[in-house]
Structure 1
Amino acid sequence: MSRAVRIGAVCAPVLLAALTAGVMAWAGERRVVTVATALPAVVLLLGVVVSAVIGVVLLIGARRRRVAASRARQSAEAWAAGRATEREEHRRFLARLDHELKNPITAIRATLAGVDPATAPAHVAVIDGQARRLAALVGDLRKLAEIETRPLETEPVDLEMLVRDAVDAVHDQRLETRGRIRIVAERVPWAVPPLPADPDLLALAFDNVLANAVKFSTDGPIEVRLREDAGAVVVEVADTGRGIPADAQEHVFDDLARAANARDVAGSGIGLSLVRTILRRHGGDVDLRSREGAGTVVTLRLPIAR
């Protein structure tokens, strides 16, 4: 039944009654109908009418809530489907890029391997260095594509222990960092609890953030702060390095993004994108605050219960 038909069916009795009353009035009908009803019956009838009105209002409200919930669910499903499509397209792009770059880089490096460094022209060393850099970039892209799709192998993880292992690894690789990196773990009134996570992926995220702090803070202190906040574990890595220009901060988590003042430092621009992917796969996220010439604070937030 169409909407117009439904409206007509509702309004027809009123229009018919109005027409009949008009004809009777025009004909001079003046008779009065008096209906005597006991007061209890009037009260009962009034209660029935009020109940009917309330029932109709509640039914209308319930229907509106169902419609709103249905629309919200459809919107959420559409958003999730769009995100899944976007991630799949991103993964395919990285796979294509890996495939297209891998073979020419392998050919270049194989050719250079047969050249004697003692007799080779100076530009050969430059070519070899750039080929190595591209090979490292391809490896990082492949790693990012794998992280986006590999199943999480979760287990209870002690984040403080994971952070200390990451700091120890930095100390072993770069002896000059000893004494510069300080860990501040909250223990009062309670310690940060373990949380379900993939320890290998989280270790990779911490390694990347610490590596950035060390690269861009050559001689100042670095603090790693660990605390619980509103149902999440928060890890902050703060350095006193060169900082990030304000106009580049919103792009530093994009693939291959590098700030203008970081071009003189070796890197692929994949590290922070990889960190964000790992955190979001765990239901968390990462952001940063930075001031050029003063330093940077990278904040990683992970939910305690997923």
Structure 2
Amino acid sequence: MKIRTRLTLLFTIIFALITIGGSVVIYITSANYREDQFYDRLEGNAINTARLLIKVNEIDSNLLKIISQNTVALIKQQILIFDNDNQRIYNSNESIRIPVDTALLHKIRRQNQVKYSIGETEIIGMNFTNKQDKYVIVASAFDKYGYNKLRNLQYTLIIVSFTAILITLIAGWLFSRHVLKPIASMISKVSDISASKLHERLPEGNGTDEIALLAITFNKMLARLESAFQMQRNFISYASHELRTPLTVITAQLDVALQKPRDVEYYRKIAESVLEDIQQLSVLSNGFLNLANASLDKSGIRFEILRVDELLWQAREEILKINHHYKINIDYKEFPEQESALQASCNDQLLKVAFSNIMDNACKYSADKEVNIGIDILPKEVKISFKDAGIGIPKKDQEKIFEPFYRANNVKSIKGHGLGLSLTHRIIKLHDGQLEIESAENKGTVITINLPSLA
């Protein structure tokens, strides 16, 4: 069932229940009011008749009947009066027979007043006292006009309720169409958005209601998708370019070597050159793999409690095994008393990759091939700073330095792929940390990492 139909039916059902409930309350209230008014009139007529018969000596039962016949009375009205011995002493209408037995008379004497009905005839019995004598009056009549008004009210309520429900159904259908029109428009526009049209956005309306908030949320999702698709396209483009270059060099060298017989020394040089290119391919492929791992959701990565400084030392050792001429200095500003101040929830492989990238960049782009690392303990944080005296990062490039494959203009002549800082930034974010860069061209760079500790 569509939302429009469901809203219309729900709105109509609620209104119908309210309308029917209100009509029932009105009818019951009116019926009770009619009954009370009729009994009051019947009781008044009965008491007046008893007073004339019992208290006015000049009026006997025959004269009272004549008076009653010439007085405006209720339809089918009959008034019966019984004395102390339950003997009937007056009957205003002999043509009507209302069954009155001794048990009823005793009940009236006990309860003082009894109201009941037989069919549409309503009857009231009451006590009437005159000095020492106790009489019982039983009066009955038919409220023809009252019942006619009730029937008319009933028909009116049924017609009005049915008409109101029908109007509500139509109005609800039109109203739900109006309310859901932005959603229908949104569905139509979303259906037109494909992978090649992720730049398109939904209209956000007034920007405050729920539908506008839905459009805003969807547009944010489209922006993330567009960014992810663009990153994927750039990744494929850059990866293809970076892989093609060493492969082209390898292919060219081998083609030249196979064109004619060469001496052993030539083949050795070719093999060394090819080996160097293959090593570059290995570094590049490892960078791609690490970048893919760092792009995973945090829930898919194994974290454990480790000492951050130990991972720094391990990363240092791995860098120095490959680059013996690098100088990597690690200094504790103040060694903590508790080991937990240096512990953090982390993935050892990813965090070592992040540290290695920063150390390698600092040494590679510095004339003295040196980086100074400081470890500082802060409340609930471990602060690690990497300081070098290298060529620095131009200010215009600092905003894009974390994008994959992006390289600053002043390092184009130095071997690299532009993956290091992008990968490092993602790894630190996965560890709920912060990475900040302060750099000045030809003066050096300071990279600061803050990781949440267990202290």
The answer to whether the 8 Å contact 1:98/1:138 transfers is no
Aligned partner of 1:159 among 304, 308, 311: 308
Distance in 1 between the 2:288 and 2:417 partners? 9
Return the letter of the residue paired with 2:296: T
2:287 corresponds to which residue? 140
Aligned partner of 1:113 among 254, 278, 295: 254
The answer to whether the 8 Å contact 1:94/1:145 transfers is no
Q: State the secondary structure of the residue aligned to 2:391.
A: coil
Pair 1:213 & 2:372 matched: no
Instruction: Summarize the Cα distance change of 1:188–1:135 in structure 2 as closer, same or farther, 3 Å threshold.
Output: closer
Matches within 5 A, 1:274-293: 274-293=423-442
1:175 corresponds to which residue? 324
Distance in 2 between the 1:109 and 1:229 partners? 50
Matches within 5 A, 1:55-94: 83=224, 86-87=227-228, 90-91=231-232, 94=235
Distance in 2 between the 1:142 and 1:218 partners? 30
The answer to whether the 8 Å contact 2:330/2:375 transfers is no
Return the letter of the residue paired with 2:231: H
Farther-moved stretch of structure 1 (203-212 vs 187-196): 187-196
> CA offsets, 1:118-142, max 9 Å, x none?
669xxxx999988975775455334
Distance in 2 between the 1:74 and 1:304 partners? 39
The answer to whether the 8 Å contact 2:401/2:408 transfers is yes
Root mean square deviation, CA, Å: 4.1
Instruction: Summarize the Cα distance change of 1:285–1:81 in structure 2 as closer, same or farther, 3 Å threshold.
Output: farther
Instruction: Summarize the Cα distance change of 1:225–1:112 in structure 2 as closer, same or farther, 3 Å threshold.
Output: same
Tell me by how many angstroms 1:241 deviates.
Answer: 1.6
Distance in 1 between the 2:314 and 2:364 partners? 19
Give TM-score scaled by structure 2 length: 0.43
Instruction: Summarize the Cα distance change of 1:177–1:304 in structure 2 as closer, same or farther, 3 Å threshold.
Output: same
Tell me by how many angstroms 1:148 deviates.
Answer: 0.9
The answer to whether the 8 Å contact 2:392/2:443 transfers is yes
Percent identity of equivalent pairs: 21
Return the letter of the residue paired with 2:291: L
Structure 2, gaps ≥5 residues long:
1-207
> CA offsets, 1:78-132, max 9 Å, x none?
8578547744763575357647876896576356435269669xxxx99998897
2:348 corresponds to which residue? 199
The answer to whether the 8 Å contact 1:248/1:259 transfers is yes
Give TM-score scaled by structure 1 length: 0.60
The answer to whether the 8 Å contact 1:109/1:128 transfers is no
Return the letter of the residue paired with 1:184: Y
Structure 1, gaps ≥5 residues long:
1-66
1:261 corresponds to which residue? 410
Pair 1:231 & 2:372 matched: no
Aligned partner of 2:371 among 184, 204, 222: 222
Tell me by how many angstroms 1:164 deviates.
Answer: 1.2
Tell me by how many angstroms 1:188 deviates.
Answer: 4.4
Tell me by how many angstroms 1:166 deviates.
Answer: 1.5
The answer to whether the 8 Å contact 2:336/2:377 transfers is no
Distance in 1 between the 2:237 and 2:369 partners? 41
Q: Greater RCO between the two (CA within 8 Å, min separation 6)?
A: 1
Distance in 2 between the 1:97 and 1:294 partners? 30
1:186 corresponds to which residue? 334
Q: State the secondary structure of the residue aligned to 1:149.
A: coil
Tell me by how many angstroms 1:246 deviates.
Answer: 2.0
Q: State the secondary structure of the residue aligned to 2:403.
A: coil
Matches within 5 A, 1:9-28: none
Tell me by how many angstroms 1:283 deviates.
Answer: 1.6
Pair 1:297 & 2:438 matched: no
The answer to whether the 8 Å contact 2:326/2:369 transfers is no
Distance in 2 between the 1:76 and 1:146 partners? 27
Instruction: Summarize the Cα distance change of 1:79–1:226 in structure 2 as closer, same or farther, 3 Å threshold.
Output: farther
> CA offsets, 1:265-295, max 9 Å, x none?
2111110000011111122231210122221
The answer to whether the 8 Å contact 1:225/1:235 transfers is yes
Distance in 1 between the 2:288 and 2:238 partners? 8
Distance in 1 between the 2:447 and 2:296 partners? 25
